[in-house]
Amino acid sequence: MELWFTEKYGDKVGFSLKVKETLFAGESPYQTVHVLDTHMFGKVLTLDGLFMTTDRDEFIYHEMITHPVMYLHDNPQDILVIGGGDGGTVREILKHSCVNKVVLCEIDDMVIEVSKKFLPEIAVELINKNPKLEVFVGDGIKYVEDSKGIFDILIVDSTDPIGPAVGLFSVEFYQNCKRALKNDGIFVAQSESPFYDINIIKSIKLNLHDAGFKFVRFYYSYIPTYPSACWSWVMASDKYDPINDFPEVKEFNIRTKYFYPELGRASFVLPLFFKKEIED
C-alpha cells in the first residue's frame, strides 16, 4: 500500500510527497511534530501538518534567509535567530568567520531534539555544540522584549502565522525587534508565499513600517516544498536599503549551493504580480 503525505493549502489545493516511512510522530506542548522519510525529498520535518524543511531543498531556504543579510551588513558579529530550531539557519550563519556570537531562541525543544536525531546535516552545529552558538529554549517574543541594542542581525525563521508563531508577525513584536537591534542592525524574516499569501505580506510590510523601520524590502526565491514554490523574505533596517546598498563588489568566499552575491541582489527584483501589491 502506498503512503502519501499532503500539505493542504485551504481545501482545494495541496502538495503531496510519497512516504517510505514515518520516523517520528509526537505532540509537543506547542504543535504536532512529524519526521518522514520520503522517496524524493529525503527526510522531512513537518509541524502541524506543514512542511518545514526537507533534506533535498533546505539549502535554498536556509541560504536565502541568511546570506543576503550577512552580505549586506558591513560587519555582522552578534546574531539572534528566533525559531529555526532545526539548526539550518545557524549552520549558514556560522560559516561566516566575522561572527562572534549566535543566539538561537526556539520555543519547542522537541523540534531541536528531533532535528539533532533525524536531520543531522541540517542540525550539525547544534550537534557539534559550536562554541559561538548559545541555544535558548523559550519564548522568542519574551527574549526579544528583554534584549536592548545588542544584535547586528535578527532573523525570524518562524513557522507560518498560525499557532505558536502568530505573535511573531505583530507590530509589538517588530517594535521590540527594532529595540533589540543596534542602530545599524537589520531584521530579516520569512514572509510566506507571494502567490497565495499576499495579504499576509501586505500586513507584514505595514506592521514593520508601523514599528518604525525606515526601509522594508521583500525578496524572493523558489522552495519546491513550500506553497506555490514561490517564497519570500523581508528585510527591514534604518541604515541599509538592500535595493540601493547591496554591495556591487565585496568578497564572498563562503561555500554555498544556491546563494551568490549577484543572485542575492537580483532576488530583490520582484515579479510584477508581487511588486505591484506592495509598492509604496
In the complex, which residues of this chain contact ligand SPD (CB under 6 A)? 50, 52-53, 61, 84, 86, 88-89, 157, 159-160, 190, 226
Q: What is the Cα–Cα distance from 273 to 136, expressed in whole angstroms?
A: 39
Q: Is 74 a catalytic residue?
A: no
Residue 57 or 152: the one with the smaller Cβ distance to ligand SPD is 57
Contacts 24+ apart (CB under 8 A), 93-97: 93/66, 93/155, 94/125, 94/130, 94/132, 94/133, 95/254, 95/255, 96/70, 96/254
Q: In angstroms, give the least distance from the CB of 97 to ligand SPD.
A: 23
Q: In angstroms, give the least distance from the CB of 151 to ligand SPD.
A: 19
Residue 63 or 160: the one with the smaller Cβ distance to ligand SPD is 160
Residue 119 or 240: the one with the smaller Cβ distance to ligand SPD is 119
Q: In angstroms, give the least distance from the CB of 226 to ligand SPD.
A: 5
Task: Classify residue 84 as left (phi > 0), alpha (psi -120 to 50) or beta.
Answer: left
Q: In angstroms, give the least distance from the CB of 84 to ligand SPD.
A: 5
* Given the residues 57, 152, 157, 197, the one annotated as active site: 157
Residue 52 or 154: the one with the smaller Cβ distance to ligand SPD is 52
* Cβ-based burial of 183 (10 A; exposed 0-12, middle 13-18, buried ≥19): exposed
Give catalytic residue positions: 157
